[in-house]
Chain A
Amino acid sequence: MDFSSLNPVAMIVLLVGAATPILLAALGELVVEKSGVLNLGVEGMMIIGAVTGFIVATETASPYAGMLGSMVGGALVAMIFGFLTQFLRSNQVATGLALTLFGLGLAALLGGDYNGIKPPPTPRLNIEGLSDLPIVGELLFSYDPVIYFSIFLVAAVWYFLNRTRGGLILRACGENHDAAHSLGYNVVMIRFGAIMFGGACAGLGGAYVSLIRVPQWTEGMTAGIGWIALAIVVFASWKPWRAILGAYLFGGITILQLSLQALGISISAAYLSMTPYIVTIVVLVIMSADRKRASLNAPACLGRSFHASN
């Protein structure tokens, strides 16, 4: 076997691409969970984003219009979840599952006519002088714009949550919704807004898969990365900077196993394909094992439905 074909620079570039959809979705879910809501429908919102992004992009021939469309699509299905859980007080776990099942079906229905088409390409950054630099240029200055946006979003989410009043209010709703209500904050609307934001992020993550990473539309193409994004939020202990770490770790594992498959290693490809999911489980176990710490990090009202008593 020839391992020399595993070029580390090329692999890091691929890793970032594999990690970005997960990172986007995880950031959105992180904000949702910080507000006290557990939305298990990430997978559904991502696949909806993947298909709406793909449709808009091919119809308008603009990948950017497609990305905008994916965010709208993701936010719209998230709105169903928000309406049910926040206004009709439905069970968040069940509603999140419903969102995933519904999203997978609806995406397949919408995408029926778009199988096997190539979407318009998304240009990569190309700054003269910088992007041409050996190694550094490839590693830092030649990605597509969404990757830079995802890094920016990490910083923006961190800043919003930790440095702004709006972020403080959002966290307050997640910590103690009764107290937030008694201080006069509209818990339901704040959470509803967070849910929409989460939907838009997941949608964009989905579009990244269908427009840039693959790029093609196939049914069920998100293949569980929405669920991995949920696990990343736990891994990150609800901290944006650690979400980036988690997402890149998973990107790395995915790329490594794909490279090994490409090398024609003697292990069946199916076994290698399992690894990201198994690693997710291992990471979840490690992060959850210390109960006291886990309960300190998690928003105290996570998953509990809020009902103003008067």
Chain B
Amino acid sequence: MKLLINTATAALLAIAGAGYATSAQAATICFAFQDLETEFWIAGHKAITTTLTEAGHTVIERNANEDANRQLEQVRDCVAQGVDGIIIIPQDGESAVTIVNEAQSADVPIAVFNRPPSDLSKGIIVVADNATIAEQATDFVVGQALESTSGDEKLNALIIVGDLGDPNAVGRKDGFYAAINKHEDRFNVIEVASEWDAATALANLEAAVTANPEIDMMFTSSDFLFPTIRSVLEPRGMWKKAGEEGHIPLAGLDGDATACQLIKDGFVSATGVQDLYFEADSAMTAILKAVEEGNAQPNEVIEDPGFALTSANLADREMDMWGCVLLSEGFLKN
């Protein structure tokens, strides 16, 4: 499976990486990530390390195991080793600010991948527009939910929220509400905390569905929770394909391989897609450019507009989603 991920990643990045691989001098880049718990982070990690290495750069990898203090120490260690640049996936928005300041004080350019600091003014910040992407995905299932009812009765919309300390989770929640508020008088909202943990999501979702057996649409802040959602809905006869009696329009966000498979199967209607390869490419290009130009404090926000892959545009946009690319390479056949 590792080979398949490598192959897919390398193939997709070959064109993107070629541009700067030849122009930039060989650099030593410290890549400090918080952990690799989901498909998104694994694919992002592969994209960055593979491309940099293949372009002749040296990558020093540091895994903080979800410990913000450890990540700060790891970045300090990288600075002490004299790296040319740093790319981080921070544990949270607050610790990211401290780490960016630490690197810039030491005159080492730093890029933050996907999880933005609470202060966007310093460092190269590559971030998905979580709110807009979530809104697009939610819009689609809101439309489906409204179409499935003939009267004006209020519908129940359930959102599984991520860790509220994570700016991405907050952005996704905001995007969900932006879509819901377009039809404010038509929806009751049920919020379920997941803390980005499958066991917590399982317990809380069971309670929420027991309290509110009539769910008309659902949005999960991350695709990795779809198996958990299935575990709760299936025994209650609520895990149905589109077109079957009792189908609940479901949407997620990330664009992973599981979501791709579930959209194809008809269980999931939409997922917000972060353009992983665009984000990885942007972070690498910007940091290598700063190294080459000798810019120690580059400050720039690079936004990934993303898009929503839905059951309606699946045929056209399937291969724009990183999860579908991995799926086509057999990622889920582990």
A associates with B: no
